[in-house]
Amino acid sequence: MLAITNAKIFDGTGKKYENANLLIQDGKIQRLGEDLEIGEEYTVIDAAGKIVTPGLIDVHTHLGVHEEGVGKEGQDFNETSAAATAQVRAIDGINPMEKGFEDARRFGITTVQVMPGSANVIGGEMIVLKTAGQIIDDMVIRNPSGLKAATGENPKRFHGGKGIMPTTRMGVAAILREKFIEAQSYIENRKAGKADRKLELENIAKVLNKEIPLRVHAHRADDIITILRLKREFGFDLTIEHCTEGHLIAPFIAKHDVRVSVGPTMSSRSKVELADKGWHTLPALAEEGIAFSLTTDHPVVGIEHLMTSAILAVKNGLSEEQALEAITINAARHLGVEDRVGSLEPGKDADFVIWSGDPFDLRSSVEETYINGERV
């Protein structure tokens, strides 16, 4: 049993405690508040002068499937042998010993979603996991957590460059429609006992059955509109990943009951889809009541800069509460794991960070990171 005492605590839901205690039992948060009685059975850590927050969450990464410092051998995030590879699963390509996981822990990130890359129209299944461990299966929070899809220049370049479909945005949308129609028929035929198992269509069927969302790489406004059109056609749950030009169509997005991840805004404008990239997207989404999270898209921007991104978001118009929620409780909701992580509430996993000072001061550092009540 563990007690963090005398700390200023941000619980991730907008509440702040000036001089509070956080009690941990069996890897879960037991109680949080001021003037709590602490028995002799607790190991006490005095955090006077420190700030405690929930463990941070990056909703969109390629951690462990794109190994840093390895080269081609460590690039297991795009199965580019076909334009649609719904049958692949990120869990089978993650190396938990990869250096990025250590960086994540050192900078207070305790939960991540790992997904295939954006070279394919359909890239495969993704997973949500803790950032500490050696056995991926023991680190899992949600698997699968979604099916990756991508619009725009990436699938056009990877496959159109080979002279095969898709060579256009029309082709990207057509492949998605074809695969969803094929999966609809597969669902009916399986129910009738007329079809053998086919992993690709099984995984797409999970989206059509609303077991998991489709999470779609979409930067440009026209690509965002296309994927919202497909959502209306097929009725699946959707998150928009990147949403770079979301500020241009924020009222339209708000009509569709979707969550979005924004980023990596710290990156350069490396392609046409990023021409209007900037921090102005976030306040525009907030004004329309659209639920958003922040992401580094590691390794596009190093995962150690998740909090840096939140600081820059505040500098450019978000409140500190909005920015913190975008990497804690809103991020957990984006991933569908808010029952376990994202805020410091009784019964949730004891994932938290002790900071040397205000986390929104770039000079502050992470002193200790805890996952499931264990210092990592």
Q: pLDDT tens digits for the chain (376 residues)?
A: 999 999 999 999 999 999 999 999 999 999 999 988 898 999 999 999 999 999 999 999 999 999 988 888 888 999 999 999 999 999 999 999 999 999 999 999 999 999 999 999 999 999 999 999 999 999 999 999 999 999 999 999 999 989 899 999 999 999 999 999 999 999 999 999 999 999 999 999 999 999 999 999 999 999 999 999 999 999 999 999 999 999 999 999 999 999 999 999 999 999 999 999 999 999 999 999 999 999 999 999 999 999 999 999 999 999 999 999 999 999 999 999 999 999 999 999 999 999 999 999 999 999 999 999 999 9
Same domain, 43 and 121: no
Same domain, 90 and 145: yes
Same domain, 153 and 87: yes
**Which of these, 71, 56, 91, lies nearest to 299 by C-alpha position?**
71
Same domain, 23 and 61: no
What is the distance between the alpha carbons of residues 24 and 45, in angstroms, rounded to a whole number? Answer: 11
Longest dimension (CA), the chain: 70
What was the pLDDT predicted at 276? 96
What was the pLDDT predicted at 161? 86
Same domain, 93 and 181: yes
Tokens of 229: 């059109």
Model pTM greater than 0.95?
yes
What was the pLDDT predicted at 75? 87
What is the distance between the alpha carbons of residues 372 and 351, in angstroms, rounded to a whole number? Answer: 6
Same domain, 200 and 307: yes
Same domain, 49 and 60: no
Measured CA distances, 252 to 177, 224, 257, 326 (Å): 22, 10, 10, 21
Amino acid type, 310: A
**Which of these, 211, 333, 338, lies nearest to 260 by C-alpha position?**
333
What is the distance between the alpha carbons of residues 286 and 309, in angstroms, rounded to a whole number? Answer: 16
Amino acid type, 319: S
| C-alpha atoms less than 13 angstroms from C-alpha of 227 in its C-beta half-sphere | 29
Q: What is the DSSP string of 172-187?
A: HHHHHHHHHHHHHHHH
How far, rounded to the nearest angstrom, does the alpha carbon of residue 164 sit from its chain's CA centroid? 31
In which residue are the tokens 């995030």 written? 77
Into how many domains does the chain fold?
2
Same domain, 49 and 59: no
CATH number at residue 93: 3.20.20.140
Are 45 and 5 within 8 A, CB to CB?
yes
What was the pLDDT predicted at 70? 87
Q: What is the DSSP string of 53-80?
A: EEPEEEEEE-TTTB-TTT-GGGB-S--T
The boundaries of the domain holding residue 319 are 55-340
Provide the strand spans (E) within the chain. 2-10, 16-25, 28-33, 43-46, 51-54, 56-61, 109-114, 122-130, 140-150, 214-218, 238-242, 259-262, 292-294, 352-355, 366-371, 374-375
Same domain, 282 and 193: yes
Strand partners, 129: 112, 140
262-267-268 Cα angle (round to 5): 125
Same domain, 99 and 112: yes
Strand partners, 355: 51, 366
Same domain, 103 and 162: yes
What is the distance between the alpha carbons of residues 120 and 149, in angstroms, rounded to a whole number? Answer: 7
Amino acid type, 99: K
How far apart are the two ends of the chain, measured CA to CA in Å?
A: 16
CATH number at residue 28: 2.30.40.10
Same domain, 161 and 282: yes
